[in-house]
Amino acid sequence: MTPRTRPRLDLDPATVKRARSLANRAGRPIVRLARQHTTVSVERATLRLAGLTGADADGTPWVNRLLDAVRGDVGLEHGVALPVWHALVREDAGDLNTLAQKAAVGELRFDMPEGQDATRARAAARRQVAAGVRRIDARRKERERLVRRWGDPEQKPWLYLIVATGDIYEDMPQAQAAAREGADVIAVIRSTGQSLLDYVPEGPTREGFAGTYATQENFRLMRAALDETSKELGRYVRLTNYASGLCMPEIAALAGLERLDMMLNDSMYGILFRDINPVRTFVDQRFSRQVHARAGIIINTGEDNYLTTADAVEAAHTVTVSQLLNEYFAKEAGLEDWQLGLGHAFEIDPAVPDSFRLELAHALLARQLFPKAPLKWMPPTRHMTGDVFRGYLLDGFFNLAGAMTDQDILLVGMMTEAVVTPWLSDRDLALQNVRYVVNAAGRLAEDFAPRPDGFIANRARQVLAESIELLERIINHENGLLDSIADGTFGLMKRPADGGKGLDGVARKTGGYYNPATEILEAT
């Protein structure tokens, strides 16, 4: 494949370096906070990596039942590993599933081991969790092998298309049809409200609301269906789901085990748009990104959502700040540039004069700030009116902006956005639109060179300057980023650090805390 020549802005390298340095300074206290705490979902993810699966007769996962029993006996601050494997070593049960079942009915109690008992429990826990991490390693190698065998799409941007029927058995043929029509990435949207469930449902599901539940079995079924179609088409079709919400770490682990390729995973989305506690979210996202790094999964961040609640011109700098923060948090957790699907969107009101030029400035700024990242470019949603002809035209402009600014992952816009759940025919028309624009534009990005003193370059420099000003204000807050989130800086949502859902699932680690998953992932 011939290397691409990217369009460029005349940005001052020292200014870019300062913006990134400020973002790192703003992010470091959050990383320290995350290192000092654990959550119920981090601990449940550790049990899942160790092989604990299944649910009781009421559908409550055994990881939840076991974690609740341990927490009730010894608390969460030590981690789940030592008390659980201490019980296994002393043969309270033969395996994790039996242990969970006994704990659920009160047949045993947990305690914290000491001395040689603690050493044996630590070694046993590490062996079993390490086996789960090796399974993730094997799935990553399997992906690499299949990409070599079947090949990648011939050109970028990768076309990213959403499937969301609620029924996994209906999702599969729709996803396969979309891939045959040209989609390179299939995203299965989660059922509405799943992010607020503090457990991961078990098994295949056939009833969801505006989406399909994220479960390990649903992941397995869809991955197998897309593998079948990848072989048929001679190109590897990627699968996306959501590692967000109260079970972010667990879903990340399940995605690694079932060879998903991309996961929506934003550092602040759950805080702002689902009112999940900030501390819970930052702890969970760090662990989940460590898993993604190990699994070779590309993350997609959610900056596009800010522009659905705040004005896309006035708040453009908040998108840039969030991208810089997401980059810092991701790299600190071990992700590489090629895994950073940083989000941005085409959401300026079409009635604004020069709206297309503004969109080009914002898109090109993101492209130049993160030249090695596979940016995820999101289509118009906020100003779609139900007029499908106008919507189809807006999506065409969006596709053209993506071609001109060399975006890597382009979510296919639907002219029926916010009107109905798309039919297969709607998706086919949307794919025709993007294919026409991308093919007609060709390598237009190589010829697109905004004047150094022109409207587009000046607008990009303005947004970058406003981003630096905002980062300086964040750093000067008494509690930094947490205060900025509390005062509504991002997406106009005010989320205090001591509020939101899931705070009761957070614990500050003690000196004797041990988690073999964290130990293994941080050593990578």
Write out the catalytic residue numbers.
269, 304, 376
For residue 169, what are the CA distances in angstroms to 166, 181, 204, 206? 9, 19, 9, 7
Peptide bond into 157 cis (omega under 30): yes
Q: How far apart are the first and last CA of the chain?
A: 31
Helix intervals (H) in 296-337: 306-309, 316-332
Give the Cα separation of 258 and 473 in Å (integer). Answer: 42
Angle at 458 between CA 456 and CA 463, to 5 degrees: 95
- Do 329 and 298 form a contact (C-beta atoms < 8 A)? no
Please list the residues that pair with 38 across neighbouring strands.
507
In contact, 8 and 449? CB cutoff 8 Å: yes
Rg of the chain, C-alpha, whole Å: 23
Unique residue bearing structure tokens 């049960």: 93
Nearest CA-CA partner of 130 in 88, 81, 86, 170: 81
Cα–Cα distance for residue pair 396/169, rounded to 1 Å: 32
Beta-carbon contacts of 330 under 8 Å, excluding residues fewer than 6 positions away, are 289, 299, 339, 340
- Alpha-carbon distance of 514 to 21, in angstroms, equals 32
φ, ψ dihedrals at 487, nearest 5°: -95, 10
